[in-house]
Amino acid sequence: MEKKISKSDWLFLGFCLLLGILGEESFFRGKIGISYFVFISGFYAVFFWRYRRYTFSHQRMGYLILCCIWLLSASFFLNDNEVTYGLNIIAIPSLVIFHLVLVTSPKHMKWNQLGMFPYLFSMLLDSVKYNAAFSGVFAKGLKQGVDERKTVIWKKVLIGLVISLPVLIIVLNLLMSADAQFKRMIGGIPEWFNVIDLQSIFRVVIILFYTAGFFGFMQILFKKQIKVIKQTANVQGSKLDSIITITILIVINAVYLLFTMVQFKYFFSGSLQGDYTYAEYARKGFFELLFVTMINLSITVVVLTVVNHGTNFVKRFMQILLTILVLASFVMLISAFMRLGMYEDAYGFTFTRILAHSFMIFLVVIFMYTLVKVWVEKLSLFHFYFISSLIYFTSITVIDLDKMVVKENMIATRKAGRSIFTI
């Protein structure tokens, strides 16, 4: 860190202190509502002021993430849902950190590759180091003109007080046990400290924590003191063997083809075997199918990214096997979708069931792109996965799904009433 601290640094520290106060007022004064939107507005006002002469990189992706951040922060007062409320507590700060690192990173750095994540974490670590260095410089400034011998004396006095505290507690307990009058006197000491507001102390600590976090992180981005981690494209040593992969895919696809045949035999035809009702069958198999679908997606991504394709014949054969795997996953998603629909017909709609429906539609989009990626190698999986996940999460957060649940249940009730009237 530079030994000299410029006036703009001190001014920026003052703005960060105001942000810390705003953050404490927004998040620790009751339930979060429009305060989150106000805080985000203030935060980015300070950020853009600090970087007013800075040319940002990855601007298109940066604007997309910024729009999602604004919408997610606005969702706190647009609707009141505990699930999205809890998720946004983690999602919004994570997106803000990623956005700041993204738009200030070197233009040649590709954000949709693994090299971005070590770069991000290194910035977080160096922001802590920057705060420590800044505190050291600030402490040295305070020490100027102060007698060094007096400083050493006060340090020794403080150490003596800390060491004597455990002994003092033991002695006081023994004396209080020996004399009732002394115990009454000592027992009244806590009332002397009622003038100290512990809540106010806690709030000051929170403000200082926020201030240090904002100041250190944005300063380290501005100072450009972090070395860019070079992306290594040569990952041949971590490639998986193609023959082993093909064997695994053949075994898995054989099981999935058998499952698909069974599904078309009785489930998609509208008839069931055994003693299960539609509602019982739906509840029994929905989560299992959804979990297997996620496993299939993980297998597909691993094969596409870390498997050595070898010869052209092996490559084409592996593409065919992956296509079968993706198509089998489509069948499982359709089956799970129908099971959940039957369960809703029996027990009605809830927030969780509507959310599950939307997530399955999202998975269909993901699998469609993945199927294209199997045959078009130049496409980036992470690029599409990140953007689609961001848009999906923002959509379900901003849209009031509780109103949708009420609406669907009312429609279902009307249909049931009409059918009874017809009978």
- The per-residue pLDDT for range 193-207, each reduced to its tens digit, is 455 556 777 888 888
What SS3 class is residue 5? coil
297-300: long-range contacts at Cβ-Cβ below 8 A with a sequence spacing of 24 or more? 297/329, 297/363, 297/366, 297/367, 297/370, 299/248, 299/249, 299/252, 299/325, 300/325, 300/326, 300/370, 300/374
How many angstroms separate the CA atoms of 89 and 85, rounded? 7
Q: Which residues contact 109 (CB under 8 A, 6 or more apart)?
A: 57, 115, 116, 119, 228, 231
Taken as a whole, the chain contains a residue count of 423
Average pLDDT over every residue of 312-336: 86
Residue 276 — φ and ψ, nearest 5°? -75, 140
Is the pLDDT at 284 greater than 60? The verdict is: no
Q: What is the pLDDT of residue 140?
A: 64
Cα atoms found within 13 Å of the Cα of residue 254, Cβ hemisphere only? 6
Asked if 404 and 353 count as a contact pair (C-beta separation under 8 A), the reply is no
Mean pLDDT of the chain: 77
Q: What is the pLDDT of residue 290?
A: 73
Mean pLDDT, residues 174-188 taken together: 64
Cα separation, 79 vs 397, in Å, equals 8
Angle (deg, nearest 10), helices 351-375 and 401-422: 110
Residue 208 has pLDDT above 70, yes or no: yes
- Residue 213's contacts (CB-CB under 8 Å, 6 or more residues apart) are 127
pLDDT at 226: 40
In sequence order, which residues have a C-beta less than 8 Å from that of residue 25 and are 6 or more positions away? 35
For residue 29, the one-letter residue type is R
Nearest residue to 102 via CA among 112, 92, 87 = 112
DSSP line for 109-162:
S-TTSTTHHHHHHHHHHHHHHHHHHHHHHHHHHHHTTS-HHHHHHHHHHHHHHH
Most distant pair of Cα atoms in the chain: their distance:
98
Name the residue with tokens 């981005």: 221
Residue scoring higher pLDDT (17 or 295): 17
* Residue 229 pLDDT: 43
The residue behind tokens 């590709």 is 110
Question: How far, in Å, CA of 382 to CA of 304, rounded?
Answer: 12
Output the pLDDT for position 82. 76
